[in-house]
Structure 1
Amino acid sequence: MTTPQVPNLTLNDGHTIPQLGFGVFLVDPQETERIVTDALELGYRHIDTAAIYRNEEGVGRAIAKSGIPREELFITTKLWNGDQGTESAHAAIDTSLEKLGLDYVDLYLIHWPVPAQDKYLESWLALEQIKASGKARSIGVSNFLVDHLQRVIDGSSTVPAVNQIELHPAYQQREVTDFGQANGILTEAWGPLGQGKYPLLEEPIITAAASKHGKSAAQVVLRWHLQQGTIVFPKSNSRERIAENIDVFDFELSDAEVQAITALERGGRVGGHPLEVK
């Protein structure tokens, strides 16, 4: 198959990031190497993992065996909640790099703000040091709300490069994404297809667009994300589905189709709430 040409977006620090990547949340550590190998063979160059996923080693083995030059890959991992704090954040990135078999990651994120423990600003300052050390090319956050974003911007010299949040047509977090856009923070979508609670792939608007374009409903939703300027990384254990998810650059939704899908907003969060996750 022809390797898809995934567009790059420019982060606020000047580095670039592939707009579509591959996520390994809930991917069995025993299966991770095989699944990531499939993704790399099918053209993905952006892999998103996290310490808490417990599959960084499998990602690292797939990278090592791929033969793909390091500079062609974009690897993200995340600081887990229990590792927030200055010393523990420095220790955590070293552990992640060792498991990944890498000298640096392209993007290091604070996984959740966990405001109850009030360490996310301290952790952000540690991420600034980690970036300065060269262990992370870019730094950002995940699941941050506007107040959390404003606090790290006010309390440091670095604006997060990205904010990775739950985002799909049924839950679009406009306040957070609008703040990001106003402040140069790119939005990454996790749970981009809405997961099980919202059967977006059965929505008539989406299935009609899929039929019109000769694509699957999932491909239509992914295309909607891309046309919003969102960074997205679907996940699958199936090589066939992994291939399908990256085959989204040969068609374009009309303005009317984008607007109709956007109108599916229901304000319905599927995952945990940033004020409650500990």
Structure 2
Amino acid sequence: MGILNETYQLANGISIPRLGLGTWLMDDAEAKGAVIDAVKCGYRMIDTAQAYGNETGVGEGIRACGVPREQLFVASKVAAEHKTYEAAKASIDETLEKMGLSYLDQMIIHSPQPWAEVNQSENRYEQGNLEAWRALEEARAAGKVRVIGVSNFNEHDLANIIDNASEKPQVNQVLAHISNTPLGLISHCKEQGILVEAYSPIAHGMVLNNPQVAEVAKHYDVSPAQLCVRYCLQLGLLPLPKTANAAHMTNDADVDFEISEQDMEALKAAEHIKDYGDSSFFPVYGGKL
């Protein structure tokens, strides 16, 4: 599976895998097993977050997987509620301690707004995000983090960092999948030299029930999940499918095929998904991912 051996080069010159494993909704024990299985399958990027509550398990999996630490790309996120320099700085050190690691490959601000206010308030926490960003810049300079970035940031939120900080985000992790692709934001990020990481590339399985996706996948003799991952890759995104199932990990990475330009355009125009099933997964912003 060639994709697991491929990388993007970030604007700062650091290489990052083109495909990673998401770990949302896993407890520590499940996350540890998922990390070990994913690494066996060939994955080298693992994504977690302070809000997931499983950094300890992910760290245990990283240390137990049998692959040298420097060959892995480990990512986490500063909790959305940390909008002061002091809180963000302390949380980064706490993450390293929980994970039992001396450094992280990537650390990003989880959301421009605290979760309780996402899309419920006009307050974009510009100053708070600059404070959290200063903590990330400091952590990167100290060697605690190699790549710093953001998540769920729109164009305004990005401009706040770019215009007022000493370095711009290397990545922006956003909800992106067939039937919900923020093409304008993706284009803006590319113009700024910011790599877009796609969480929920398979829409928590909901897009698998889409007849259009099923029909296109059948044309290429692949599964709908494989089509979803390939779609993100062809948009230049870094997909982060979440699964604790080793067979699904293997399937998600077996994407050595090409979607035609015509089919890509049709998939971009797919009807926008309105219902993700259990709304508790998506309380205010497509889920706490």
Q: TM-score, normalised by structure 1?
A: 0.91
Task: Tell me if structure 2 keeps the 8 A contact 1:3–1:43.
Answer: no
Is the alpha carbon distance of 1:238 and 1:116 closer, same or farther for their aligned partners in structure 2, counting shifts above 3 Å?
same
Distance 1:112 1:26, change over 3 A: same
Q: Deviations over 1:8-35 (max 9, x none)?
A: 0011111011010000011122311112
Does residue 1:247 correspond to 2:254, yes or no? Answer: yes
- 1:98-113 equivalences under 5 Å are 98-113=97-112
**Cα shift at 1:200:** 2.2
Poorly superposed stretches of 4+, deviation over 3 Å: 2-6, 115-118, 267-274
Q: Secondary structure at the match of 1:81?
A: coil
Kindly report which structure 2 residues correspond to 1:168-247, keeping only aligned pairs within 5 A, or say none: 168-195=177-204, 199-247=206-254
Deviations 1:52-108 (A, max 9, x none): 111111111111111211111001001002333112211111110111111111111
Give 1:3 deviation, angstroms.
Answer: 7.7
- State the distance in 2 between where 1:60 and 1:99 align: 7
Residue of structure 2 in register with 1:256 after alignment: 262
SS at match of 2:30: helix
Matched, 1:69 2:68: yes
1:237 match: secondary structure: coil
Q: Distance in 2 between matches of 1:122 and 1:72?
A: 31
C-alpha distance after superposition, 1:145-166 (max 9, x if no partner) = 1100001000111110010011
Q: Which moved more, 1:117-126 or 1:183-192?
A: 117-126
Instruction: Write out aligned runs for 1:57-96 (5 A).
Output: 57-96=56-95
Amino acid at match of 1:107: Q
TM-score by length of 2: 0.88
**Structure 2: distance between partners of 1:130 and 1:272:** 31
Q: Which moved more, 1:261-270 or 1:92-101?
A: 261-270
Instruction: Read off the aligned partner of 2:222 and give its amino acid letter.
Output: K
Shift of 1:273: 5.2
1:164 and 2:173 equivalent?
yes
Cα distance in 2 between the residues matched to 1:34 and 1:5: 19
Q: Name the CA shift for 1:269/1:130 in 2 (closer, same or farther; >3 Å).
A: farther
CA pair 232-65 structure 1, distance change in 2 beyond 3 A: same
Distance 1:157 1:116, change over 3 A: closer
One-letter amino acid of the counterpart of residue 259, structure 2: L
Match of 1:134 among 132, 136, 143: 143
Shift of 1:203: 2.8
Give the 3 Å change call, closer, same or farther, for CA 3–228 of structure 1 in structure 2: closer
Counterpart in 1 of 2:156? Answer: 147
Q: Name structure 1 gaps, 5 residues minimum.
A: none
Q: Distance in 2 between matches of 1:19 and 1:4?
A: 7
Greater CA deviation, 109-118 or 230-239? 109-118
Please tell me whether the aligned partners of residues 56 and 96 of structure 1 are also in contact (alpha carbons under 8 angstroms).
yes
| Identical aligned residues as a percent | 38
1:104·1:135 contact (CA, 8 Å) conserved in 2? yes
- How many angstroms does 1:207 deviate by? 1.6
Give the aligned partner of residue 11 of structure 2: 12
User: What is the aligned length?
Assistant: 271
Are the equivalent residues in 1 in contact too, given 2:24–2:52 (CA < 8 A)?
Answer: yes
- Closer/same/farther in 2, CA of residues 265 and 16 from structure 1, 3 Å limit: farther
Give yes or no for the alignment of 1:37 onto 2:36. Answer: yes
Find the counterpart in structure 2 of residue 25 from structure 1. Answer: 24
CA contact (8 A) 1:60 1:101 kept: yes
Structure 1 residue 265 displacement after superposition: 5.0
Per-residue CA distance 1:112-163 (angstroms, 9 max, x = gap): 1114554111111221111101101010000111100001000111110010
> C-alpha root-mean-square deviation of aligned residues, in Å?
2.0
